[in-house]
Amino acid sequence: MSTRLWCAVLCGYLALGATIQALPAIVDGRPGTVGLLVTLAAAATAVARPFAGRLADRGDGGTVALAGAVLVATGMLGHLAADGPAQLAVARLVVGAGEGALFTGALARVLADAPVERRGRLIGHFGLSMWGGLAAGPPLAAAVASAAGARSALWLAAAAGALAVVLTVGVRSPGGGFRGGASPLLPRAARRPGAILGLASFGYGTVNAFAVPAAGTLALAVFAAAFLAVRLAGSRLVDDLGPRTVILLSTVLEAAALAGVASGTGALAALALAGASVAPVFPALAVWVVEAAPERERGAAVGAMTSCWDAGIAAAGPAGAVLVAHGDLAPAFLLASALAAFGALTTAATRRIPDLGRAVA
């Protein structure tokens, strides 16, 4: 079950990555329009996650994931049928909402069967489906477009979206069907973890926006390799050490790494440390949220917390652009470092965070 859902999310985000690669050719390379279209999908994803989690809390994360996959596939067909930026914008909104529902519903369904002692590992590994799809989509789309034209990349995206639907058909929750009642869109259990996640993801967004001019063409590859390696091999640390320890270490190291990038000395090594340090933050915070939230609110809580990741990344680009307007990149990384440090302080000041499977004072 979890393997099918992992592959479904991979396909959904591969489709999204493919469209990001294809958009410049479709809209004649107008960067402002491309940027707006990319942002629309991200914004729709952030808004959809809490609603998807709320529906998953009513009893069937598998059905929510299927609905998300259908929206993704529909939006991909919309890309093929679109005649101009306005119609593309609608398609992007549909895709973004679908991606939010697909990931949130699938994760809620996987967590329904997850043993408490393995939640960190499962969340970390499941998240790789999203990152793997986003990473694989652009190069696959570029290869297909090079061989068969720009629109062929959209057909690739549509096929991946359709496969996501096939993989989610028939997935049901252990209890089956929806239950009555509605969880809040921003559960209390998600508020502080969400704030810490947003502070950490601001650094991730800063790296995406400014690492290449700061450290050269290898910058993002080094960051991504460290991120993926630690997410794959290090997610078990959340289960072994507990969320509090992992969050605190990760945010402290992220702050130090981003300050190192700002200094300009050993920037590639600092970026590797930044990627490694930010990788376990999401699994650790997700375990905190899952253990702190009542069962009826877990999906909404994880969805709301994940939206904070999207918000932090979205805020980093514009904020950094203001700070680097005079050509010096260091202020953008120093701001990201300060926010990560504030996340560490917030973690240290929080009295009750699950650690080693129990809440500690």
pLDDT in tens, 24-40: 888 875 666 777 787 78
Task: Find the helix or strand (DSSP H, E) in which 355 lies.
Answer: strand 353-355
Tell me the pLDDT tens digit for each residue of 147-167.
998 889 999 999 999 999 999
Q: Tell me how far apart the terminal alpha carbons of the chain are, to the nearest angstrom.
A: 37
pLDDT for 263 equals 95
280-304: average pLDDT? 89
User: Which residue ranges form the domains of the chain, and what is each CATH number?
Assistant: 2-168 (1.20.1250.20), 188-360 (1.20.1250.20)
| CA distance linking residue 82 with residue 39, whole number of Å | 18
Q: Say if residue 195 is exposed, middle or buried (CB neighbours under 10 Å; 0-12, 13-18, 19+).
A: middle
| CA distance linking residue 52 with residue 37, whole number of Å | 22
129-135: average pLDDT? 85
258-263: average pLDDT? 97
pLDDT for 348 equals 94
Total count of residues recorded for the chain: 361
| CA distance linking residue 361 with residue 346, whole number of Å | 14
pLDDT for 181 equals 59
- Which is higher by pLDDT, 3 or 336? 336
Name the DSSP class of 171.
Answer: -
pLDDT for 165 equals 97
Alpha helices for the chain (secondary structure H): 2-26, 31-57, 61-81, 85-112, 119-148, 150-168, 188-215, 219-234, 236-241, 243-263, 267-278, 281-292, 298-323, 330-349
Q: Say if residue 292 is exposed, middle or buried (CB neighbours under 10 Å; 0-12, 13-18, 19+).
A: buried
The per-residue pLDDT of the chain, averaged, comes to 88
| pTM score above 0.85 | no
Crossing angle (nearest 10°) for helices 188-215 and 219-234: 140
235 pLDDT exceeds 80?
Answer: no
310-334: average pLDDT? 89
Phi, psi of 299 (to 5 degrees): -60, -45
Q: How would residue 243 be classed by pLDDT, with cut points 50, 70 and 90?
A: very high
Three-state secondary structure call for residue 353: strand
Place of tokens 């990344």: 313
Crossing angle (nearest 10°) for helices 298-323 and 330-349: 150
pLDDT for 182 equals 64
| CA distance linking residue 68 with residue 52, whole number of Å | 9
pLDDT for 357 equals 47
Q: Which of 103, 2, 95, 9 lies closest to 53 in space, CA to CA?
A: 103
> What residues contact 2, with CB distance under 8 A and at least 6 apart?
110, 113, 122, 126
Tell me the pLDDT tens digit for each residue of 53-95.
888 888 778 899 999 999 999 999 999 999 888 999 999 999 9
